[in-house]
Structure 1
Amino acid sequence: MSWVNYLIYAFLAINITFNLLGSIALHRFPDVYTRLHGATKCTTFGTIFAVFAVAAHALYQLHVTGDAKYLQMTLHSFVALIALLLTNPVGAHAIAKAAHLSGYKPVKAVVDAYEEKLGGGKE
């Protein structure tokens, strides 16, 4: 087994750890906002390391075989990662805004800037 396999396993272990923490966040956190924060951050970081594992495997196979399909696989993985990095925060923001407009308030919030912006905060 080469050093690349150990690198891939390390990336996958980090991926699994972040995704497990995101799952725990969905179960343990008190409200939709903290759950959303935990799940979004953890799955984003987990996916980054999953793409690193795919890229390491593909680049190693490119080096061994010289087949260009592995370079294409690496590039497609990074394009998918960029798409995820752009859309994941936007989706989380949209869900949080919809939850707030639906009446779900943050638990133990000291300041609710969005409520103040809408004109419903204490003055």
Structure 2
Amino acid sequence: MTAVLDWIALGCLLIGALLSFAAGVGLVRFPDLLSRMHTAAKPQILGLLLILVGIGLRMAPDPRVGVLVLVAVFQILTVPVAGHIAGRAAYRTGRVRRDLLAIDELRDELAEEPGPGR
């Protein structure tokens, strides 16, 4: 049974590493900020989770596996929030290429907000 868990752990580690590598390549290759943020968040989180699962399978009877769960939960909760905040800040400061947006729902929402001094 240990050999099977080792092979599953190896598969998780390899796939996680490939997803993390793909996220890094996407950061370099994608043309605009929003595309880069998407590739930094989505495959990177899945890659990290697979790597943590692989490490957890290798450390299976060790009680320190709970630390890996805490790392996973922290990443799942913070990365989407940080990406959302960074995306809104980039949009408001004009760092987003609006010609690449298919639907711009934030434009209408920001137009309705009263600005300072209004």
The higher-RCO structure (CA 8 Å, 6+ apart) is 2
User: So what's the TM-score if we normalise by structure 2?
Assistant: 0.86
Residue 84 (structure 2) aligns with = 93
SS of the residue corresponding to residue 96 of structure 2 reads coil
Q: Which runs of 5+ in 1 are unaligned?
A: 63-69
Displacement of 1:4 after TM fit?
2.1
Residue 53 (structure 1) aligns with = 54
Residue 115 (structure 1) aligns with = 107
Displacement of 1:88 after TM fit?
0.6
Q: Which runs of 5+ in 2 are unaligned?
A: 113-118
Residue 11 (structure 2) aligns with = 10
Corresponding residue pairs, total:
110
Q: What residue identity is the alignment partner of 1:103? A: G
Percent identity between the two aligned chains: 20
Distance 2:102 2:6 in 1: 48
Displacement of 1:41 after TM fit?
0.4
Distance 1:109 1:95 in 2: 17
Q: What residue identity is the alignment partner of 2:56? A: A
User: So what's the TM-score if we normalise by structure 1?
Assistant: 0.83
Moved over 4 A (4+): none
Q: What residue identity is the alignment partner of 1:28? A: R
